[in-house]
Chains A and B, each alone.
Chain A
Amino acid sequence: MNNLSLILMLLVLMAIAYQFGMTRSRSIAGGNNSSSMHSRPHHYGMMVGLWAVLPPLAVMLVWNWLAPSVIDGMVIASIPAEFKPELEQAAIVMRRISNLAANFGIVAEAADWELNAASYLTGLKQQSALMLTALMFVVASLGLLLSFRKIQPSLRARHQVERVTMGLLLLCSTVAILTTVGIVLSMVGETLKFFTFVKPSEFFFGTTWNPRFSTAGVADGSLTGSQGSFGLLPLLSGTMLVALIAMIVAIPLGLMVAIYLAEYAPSKVRNTVKPVIEILAGIPTIVYGFFALVTVGPFLSDIGASMGLTIRATSALTAGVVMGIMIVPFISSLSDDILTQVPKTLRDGSLGLGATKSETIRKVVLPAALPGIVGAVLLAVSRAIGETMIVVLAAGNSPSVTANPFEAVSTVTVTIVNQLTGDNDFASPQSLVAFALGLTLFVITLLLNVVALVIVRKYREQYE
């Protein structure tokens, strides 16, 4: 019996137990008069249901966690002494045996002792499943019975149920923290491994990026001789260049859109234009990437040619412009929120003194909204730095330190994709560097986000 059907059975059991508990509490209360009981009937039902299901569930989790290693140990112990594998070979032997047991094909003819071990394994697995089912059944019935008998007017069933619910809610809200912890731990671990191959100073201050390929079969010692160079600076400069171009496109456009919609536009125009522009925010980045590669790149290149400039079709400019388009709605809707939060009294004061509308906006509203807008821009910058698909397709992937936007560049995100999707060995510096780059990216965006969120939050408090 597999886990899924066991869980389904538990659910059925829970429904039955719920009914039992509810009926029992009703009959104890006598008829429809449940006011003598501490809790409502469904609380008693729920309590019995939980007692019937949670203990066997715990048993199942522990069993599934422990059983495989116990079974493996027993199988290994059963192998005749002359074939007994070394400790480090045990895993390989076990895989062969379990493949045999599962009727998958294996390489080479199976030896007799392997076949024996396989049938032993099958037997053990069946026994284990049987034992688990029996144990769960016993625990479930015990839980059901005991909790069923405990039902009486003074039993605080509701408190028990609510405590379990609370535990469940708390568990769910820790997932977000666990994710962050997971991100940090996994990346720090792999990054430290990477730094055993390459010195941190070479990584952070190196000016050439040329990782080469990891060559299989090269001894550990000689790897350091021919492994290429992992300098972060070319990637970082490419990232910054693309982000800068994106901001040059997005900030004026997004800000002006926000100002017009918040201050000038009649509500009818506002209500139609705003969602249309926000469509841009919902379009997947891969679509922008394709748009950049197929349409914007050649277009910019043609314009450049007509002006006597050589602009490559895939360049920092192409990627930056398209990324700017992507970020426009991001900046416009954030700034729009902030502008509408500026109190009307400020505007009225300025208008009352005879300022024109644009003077009011430029000299009163914008300065008042500035911290919030700076926060929005920082968030947008962090988006631009972490953006992947547009630059993968349209930035040209040529890591060099350059300030020329017409050249192809490479960015941190592009390199992460390149290093992890090639044929590199997972434990080679060529793959591990992706985690070091990821950690760098994470730290940069984290800093930007924290600063931005602090600014935005401060600003909100000011006017609320």
Chain B
Amino acid sequence: MTTEVKNLKGSSLARSKVQQQVINSLQKRHRQEKLFRGAGVTAVAISLLLVVLLFVNIFSKGLPAFWQHAIKVDIYFDPAVVQIAEKPVQQADESDNDFRQRDLEWRSSVGMINFNRLILDGLNKVIPDGQAHRRDLQRVVTSGERFAIRDMVINDPSVIGTTKSLYLLTDANIDVWLKGNIDRSLSDAQQQLSPKMREWVESLKAQGIIQNRFSFALFMNPDSRSSLASAGLAGAFMGSLYMMLVVIVLAIPMGVAAAIYLEEFAPKNKLTDLVEVNINNLAAVPSIVFGLLGASIFIGWFNLPMSAPVVGGLVLTLMTLPTVIIATRSTLKAIPPSIRQAALGLGASKSQAVFHHVLPLAIPGILTGSIIGVAQALGESAPLLLIGMKSFVASVPTSAMEQSTALPVQIYLWQGNELRNFFEARTSAAIIVLLALMLSLNSLAIWLRKRYEVRW
């Protein structure tokens, strides 16, 4: 009896000792708890801050580039300067080749006309001492505008002899100066603009003849190296569009078919295991490796043209395929077996059960996965560099076989331009366009998922 009492006493003593320890350490443990939780909150805050920082940074740099300085000039389409023959029309007895030849001749004859004269004449009216500084006067309006005027004449020859008031984009350096993107205190030798030009530009701006206007040049024009102020994204956009069409036409049907086979029909054996591991790996292969594949197989063996959207599209298709397959498979997996069993029980064949009952239910999930895959492909640039899509292309491609570049690659090209003051903003603007496209694709995917999601 006594020993038991002793033991009890001893254990209660020990317990109180433990209790004491617990109580003593409690403060420290709670502090640790707070610290740990605080670290979590901080990490989330930092991550959110980074998202905000990234977007604020890009937008604050890029948004001003959507507005560009343009000068209001009255252009008189002087018939003495613009002497233009009748635009050729294909005759009934004329072969396509002959007509093309004649049209080309007519176009080159129009190209010989000095449209710059029209611009200079117009400028002389607003810049009184322009004649004395012809070299500076030449540089006020960016050189791409003379082609815009040429196209106006080609499209509608009736403008000849009339006077039109046009807003012409100023030279990139003028835009930089007026936006304050260059240090104005630099000495004359370091400035891109001559003192005379700066004086003109300031006074024209004050008179309201030069205005900062929303510019469609960024959207409507292809890239340009001679006329930086009118360099645009149209060519890159069309290139990306063709590539996405190739991806949509090839990757989605093939990926969905592959996923259906692997998920619904394939026997479970070593071979299908291998295919599965292979697809998972393919999804994690660096994108640049796909570029190497494209360079050596599509261009080296199949002799497809360099820089063509069709090759880019094929490379991106191979890259997107695993994404589509994985997304489709997980959607199919989520559809309860009872659907299949019900169909089979009523006498449907296996493929009837899959194509008539399972697949329709999987469509929202498949669409979501496919759109996310396409959005990823839209932003990819590394493999495109290797198949020659970083070459400078000054025209808008009219087919998938023509030379072209792509939106992300255009960003890469522009960030390397020498005129940093101008192109930093323009590159950011291009990024905004790309991000807007990708975000709208992604929100479409999210909307589809929310709208059609079925919970089992």
Contact = CB atoms under 8 A, between A and B. Distances in A.
Interface of A: 103, 158, 162, 165-166, 168-170, 172-173, 175-177, 179-180, 182-183, 186-187, 189-190, 252-257, 259-261, 263-265, 273, 276-277, 279-280, 282-287, 289-291, 293-295, 325, 328-329, 332, 354, 356-359, 361-362, 379, 382-383, 385-389, 392-393, 413, 416-417, 420-421, 426, 434-435, 438, 441-442, 445-446, 449-450, 453
B47 A253 contact: yes
A192 to B, nearest CB: 13
Interface stretch (B83-91, B104-112, B190-198, B285-293): B285-293
Contact of A388 (B39, B287, B296): B287
A389 B58 contact: no
B286 A441 contact: yes
Nearest to A450: B281
Given A294-B424, A389-B382, 5 more contacts: A186-B293, A257-B40, A265-B44, A417-B288, A438-B292
B415 A175 contact: no
Interface string B315-352: 00010011001000000000000000000000001010
Given A291-B54, A387-B286, A169 B258 contact: yes
B300 interface: yes
A253 B278 contact: no
A295 B279 CA distance: 37
Contact of B296 (A162, A186, A387, A393): A186
Nearest to A158: B349
Given A162-B351, A176-B258, A386-B288, A417 B44 contact: no
B48 A435 contact: no
Contacts of B300: 186, 426
B266 interface: yes
A356 B29 contact: yes
A176 B257 contact: no
Nearest to A172: B257
Nearest to A385: B286
Interface in B385-412: 385-386, 388, 390, 408-409, 411-412
Nearest to A39: B349
B199 interface: no
Interface string B364-382: 0000000000011011111
B43 A252 contact: yes
Contact of B48 (A170, A273, A289): A273
A416 B29 contact: no
B380 A284 contact: yes
B97 A442 contact: no
A2 B282 CA distance: 36
A114 to B, nearest CB: 19
A96 to B, nearest CB: 17
B265 A169 contact: yes
Interface residues of B, number: 88
A379 B284 contact: yes
A356 B427 CA distance: 51
A263 B33 CA distance: 13
Given A273-B44, A417-B386, A453-B280, A176 B285 contact: no
B434 interface: yes
B51 A166 contact: no
Contacts of A389: 381-382, 412
B285 A445 contact: yes
Contacts of B159: none
A20 B287 CA distance: 48
Nearest to B391: A421
Contacts of B255: 172
A394 to B, nearest CB: 11
Nearest to B355: A165
Contacts of B297: 182, 186
Contacts of A359: 29, 32-33
Nearest to B416: A393
Contacts of B209: none
Which one of A169, A291, A359, A446 has the greatest number of beta carbons of chain B within 10 Å?
A: A169
Contacts of B35: 358
Contacts of B154: none
B51 A286 contact: no
Contacts of A291: 54, 57-58
A280 B52 CA distance: 10
A168 B281 CA distance: 23
Contacts of B289: 183, 187, 386, 438, 441-442
Contacts of B321: 175-176, 179
A286 B44 contact: no
A361 B36 contact: yes
A103 B97 contact: yes
Contacts of A172: 253-255, 257-258, 261
Contact of B282 (A176, A295, A413, A441): A176
A257 B47 contact: yes
Contact of B266 (A173, A180, A435, A438): A173
A435 B292 CA distance: 7
B118 to A, nearest CB: 34
B381 A286 contact: yes
Nearest to A434: B292
B442 A284 contact: no
11 contacts: A166-B265, A172-B257, A180-B281, A182-B293, A255-B43, A260-B37, A283-B435, A284-B434, A325-B50, A357-B37, A420-B295
Contact of A417 (B48, B280, B382, B428): B382
B166 interface: no
A413 B386 CA distance: 11
A389 B355 CA distance: 41
Contact of B288 (A170, A283, A383, A416): A416
Contact of B318 (A179, A263, A442): A179
Contact of B44 (A260, A382, A388, A393): A260
A263 to B, nearest CB: 8
Most chain B CB within a 10 A radius of its CB, from A273, A280, A290: A290
A295 B258 contact: no
Nearest to B97: A103
B262 interface: yes
A362 B44 contact: no
Given A176-B275, A176-B279, A441-B289, A290 B411 contact: yes
B259 to A, nearest CB: 8
A403 B422 CA distance: 36
B406 to A, nearest CB: 10
A279 B375 CA distance: 12
A186 B292 CA distance: 8
A283 B439 CA distance: 9
